[in-house]
């Protein structure tokens, strides 16, 4: 086994492991390298000392496991599926924590087909919920993300992740939760206990102090179930695609997007802007042979690739949901608002895309193949915005490194991909957006990283930008450069007013250095709930 830090003794660890084997069976207590094999790789290139991993499949067993951890004061760290790509995957925030794998807790505990609320355990993935809804003929959308169908619904909501379906804020759609605290006791919301479980599932804020939010981006407890409201499948789903022919149109496009979102709330699910680099990462293999002396693609190569793959400096995506008449009216409004800045603005439905795919099969040569690839990607994108999870976005992680498997689910961590996310909040003002884009383009090349930028609307006031830092994880120098790049982006962005909505496990110590009263308040709560600091030490603190 790996050596352990001084937070607990080796004797305490052995005593805890013996007790856990009695609870779970020896086959569910993985030691040393057996624990590192399934859990020890992350796309960021981080390494953690993980002495053991426990596989747990019920809430009562989790309670018992935590009582053992508390008794022996051995640190533990929970994970749902461990597919938190680019933020730490399955790794703990600090060395020495024993992993609690909850991926076998896969029950859909309750579903209300009339009101559209589902309650799930940590191991229920986007794909599992999609299959459940499809098999039952339930017309609701899965709250999907680009991370793929193997990712946990519960974990993404607790990380305060967002997606592309109408309820973009995934924790915003969570109405109720249940958790196990560090001493093995249960947390339930007040309305759940004092009123009824059904009312708790239907009313997020409950009664009395709102405490459920404390379990997001924290280590205050291990959440074992959430209830989440699902958006109903609308009569019409349509995607709008548009292009900005040159960078000077970005500022007026921001104003136009802000206008669309303010005028069409609910019908327009969200709008994304992707720069040319980001779109090429989805459209073209990385041309290593055309890289410059600095290892990056020169501007003329990017322009050439853009012309070949018909990728403009900026590409916009929006999704419309509603009745046929609502979507038709919104389409007219969007043409008016985006027309002055957008080129090749068009709207597509799944039916129209399938028709294009049939036509593409009849076209000969490279144009036919290009159209076939484009329509296939478009079909997968439409499936995603219609609430069916897939791997459309995930190949991004493989653009510069990683071995893309020929079959089976993509696993960027196991496949050698190098990826870390910088995901700041950026006010929806032209000046902020232009300065932010300029900062990313200035900083990333200094570290050998291509400037890939996506801006996703969270409201008509705010973008969440996702900037994937892609690098060769097999190269220690490139791995170190990516970490340094993130650090400079974090501090430079903070100085200009942009700050992440979530960070990876390696950035959590820096985050804590930027807090005073908030950190003090959280530590006071922590000492009350977990005086020996055994549950997820180092997580967001």
CATH of residue 198: 3.30.465.10
Q: What is the mean pLDDT of residues 158-165?
A: 90
Is the pLDDT assigned to residue 376 strictly greater than 90? no
Roughly what angle, to the nearest 10 degrees, separates helices 350-360 and 365-385? 160
Same domain, yes or no: 409 and 269: yes
Tokens of 209: 């102090």
At 337-375, the pLDDT tens digits run 999 999 889 898 877 777 666 666 777 766 666 666 666
Tell me, yes or no, whether 493 and 514 share the same domain: no
Residue 285 sits in the same domain as residue 413: yes
Question: Nearest Cα to 330, choosing from 242, 271, 385, 268?
Answer: 268
Q: Which residue has the higher pLDDT, 404 or 537?
A: 537
In this structure, what DSSP letter does residue 296 have?
S
User: Tens digit of pLDDT for each residue in 252-297?
Assistant: 999 999 999 999 998 998 899 999 999 999 888 899 999 998 999 9
Residue 128's domain comprises 108-229
- Angstrom distance (rounded) from CA 405 to CA 382: 24
**Are 357 and 406 in a shared domain?**
no
pLDDT at 527 over 90: yes
CA 301 to CA 292: how far, in whole Å? Answer: 9
Q: Which two tokens stand for residue 28?
A: 């569910």
The pLDDT of residue 4 is 47
Q: Are residues 244 and 331 in the same domain?
A: yes
Task: Based on the fold, state whether residues 304 and 446 are members of the same structural domain.
Answer: yes
Residues 378 and 290 in one domain: no
pLDDT for 377 equals 73
pLDDT confidence of residue 494: 96
pLDDT tens string 168-224: 899 999 999 999 999 999 999 999 999 999 999 999 999 999 999 999 999 999 999
State how far the Cα of 285 lies from the Cα of 278, in Å rounded to an integer.
12
**Tens digit of pLDDT for each residue in 476-507?**
999 999 999 999 999 999 999 999 999 999 99
Please give the mean pLDDT across all residues of the chain.
92
Where does a domain end: 364, 385, 406?
385
Which residue in this structure is represented by tokens 């094999």? 37
Overall size of the chain counted in residues: 541
- Residue, of 283 and 438, whose pLDDT is higher: 438
Contacts 24+ apart (CB under 8 A), 398-406: 399/281, 399/285, 399/286, 399/470, 400/286, 400/450, 400/470, 400/471, 400/472, 401/470, 401/471, 401/472, 401/473, 401/474, 402/473
Q: What is the pLDDT of residues 61-72, one digit of tens each?
A: 999 999 999 999
| HSE of 356, CA atoms in CB hemisphere, 13 A | 18
Q: What are phi and psi of 287, to 5 degrees?
A: -85, 80
pLDDT at 5: 47
46 and 189 share one domain:
no
Final residue of a structural domain among 177, 211, 229? 229
pLDDT band of 2, cuts 50, 70, 90: very low
Q: How many domains, the chain?
A: 4
| pLDDT tens column, 230-260 | 999 999 999 999 999 999 999 999 999 999 9
pLDDT of 1 above 70: no
Q: Are residues 308 and 397 in the same domain?
A: yes
pLDDT of 382 reads 81
| pTM attached to this predicted model | 0.93
CATH code for the domain of 27: 3.30.43.10
Judgement on whether residues 396 and 300 belong to the same structural domain of the protein: yes
**Span 82-92, pLDDT tens digits:** 999 999 999 99
Work out the average pLDDT over 136-162. Answer: 94
Q: Pick the last residue of a domain from 385, 405, 438.
A: 385
**CATH number for position 421:** 3.40.462.10
Give, to the nearest 10 degrees, the angle between helix 59-72 and helix 10-24. 160
Indicate if 308 and 417 belong to the same structural domain: yes
User: Which value, in Å, is the radius of gyration of the alpha carbons in the chain?
Assistant: 24
Judge if 296 and 438 occupy the same domain.
yes
Q: Percent of the chain, pLDDT > 70?
A: 95
- Residue 3's pLDDT is 41
14, 55 in Cβ contact below 8 A? no
């Amino acid at each position: 086994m790996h050596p352990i830090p001084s937070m607990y003794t080796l004797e305490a660890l052995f005593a805890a492991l013996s007790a856990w084997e009695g609870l779970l069976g020896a086959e569910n207590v993985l030691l040393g390298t057996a624990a590192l094999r399934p859990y020890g790789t992350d796309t960021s290139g981080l390494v953690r000392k993980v002495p053991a991993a426990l596989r747990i499949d019920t809430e009562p067993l989790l309670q018992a496991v935590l009582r053992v951890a508390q008794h022996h004061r051995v640190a533990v760290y929970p994970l749902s599926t461990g597919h938190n790509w680019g933020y730490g995957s399955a790794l703990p925030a600090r060395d020495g924590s024993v992993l609690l794998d909850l991926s076998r807790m896969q029950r859909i505990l309750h579903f209300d087909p009339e009101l559209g609320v589902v309650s799930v355990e940590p191991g229920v993935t986007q794909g599992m919920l999609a299959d459940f809804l499809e098999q039952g003929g339930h017309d609701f959308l899965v709250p999907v993300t680009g991370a793929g169908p193997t990712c946990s619904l519960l974990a993404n909501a607790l990380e305060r992740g967002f997606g592309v379906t109408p309820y973009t804020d995934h924790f915003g759609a969570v109405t109720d939760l249940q958790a196990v605290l560090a001493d093995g006791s249960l947390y339930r919301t007040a309305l759940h206990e004092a009123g009824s479980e059904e009312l708790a599932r239907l009313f997020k804020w409950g009664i009395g102090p709102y405490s459920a939010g404390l379990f997001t981006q924290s280590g205050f407890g291990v959440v074992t179930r959430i209830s989440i409201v699902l958006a109903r499948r609308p009569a019409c789903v349509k995607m709008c695609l548009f292009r900005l022919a040159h960078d000077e149109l970005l500022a007026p496009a921001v104003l136009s997007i802000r206008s669309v979102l303010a005028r069409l709330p609910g019908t327009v699910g969200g709008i994304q802007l992707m720069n040319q680099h980001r779109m090429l990462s989805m459209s073209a293999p990385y041309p290593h042979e055309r890289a410059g002396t600095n290892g990056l693609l020169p501007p003329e190569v990017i322009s050439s690739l853009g012309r070949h793959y018909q990728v403009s400096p900026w590409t916009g995506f929006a999704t419309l949901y509603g009745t046929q008449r609502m979507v038709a009216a919104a389409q007219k409004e969007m043409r008016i608002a985006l027309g002055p800045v957008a080129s090749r603005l068009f709207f597509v439905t799944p039916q129209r895309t399938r028709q294009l795919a049939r036509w593409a099969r009849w076209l000969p040569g490279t144009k036919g193949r290009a159209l076939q690839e484009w329509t296939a990607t478009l079909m997968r994108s439409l499936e995603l915005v219609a609430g069916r999870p897939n791997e459309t976005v995930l190949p991004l992680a493989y653009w510069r490194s990683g071995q893309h498997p020929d079959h089976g689910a993509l696993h960027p961590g196991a496949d050698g991909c190098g990826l870390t996310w910088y995901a700041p909040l950026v006010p929806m003002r032209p000046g902020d957006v232009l300065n932010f884009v300029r900062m990313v383009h200035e900083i990333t090349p200094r570290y050998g990283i291509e400037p890939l930028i996506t801006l996703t609307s969270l409201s008509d006031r705010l973008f969440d930008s996702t900037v994937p830092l892609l690098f060769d994880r097999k190269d220690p120098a490139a791995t170190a450069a990516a970490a340094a790049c993130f650090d400079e982006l974090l501090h430079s962005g903070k100085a200009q007013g942009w700050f992440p909505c979530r960070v990876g496990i390696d950035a959590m110590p820096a985050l804590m250095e930027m807090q005073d009263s908030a950190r003090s308040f959280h530590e006071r709560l922590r000492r009350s709930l977990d005086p020996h600091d055994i549950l997820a030490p180092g997580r967001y603190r």
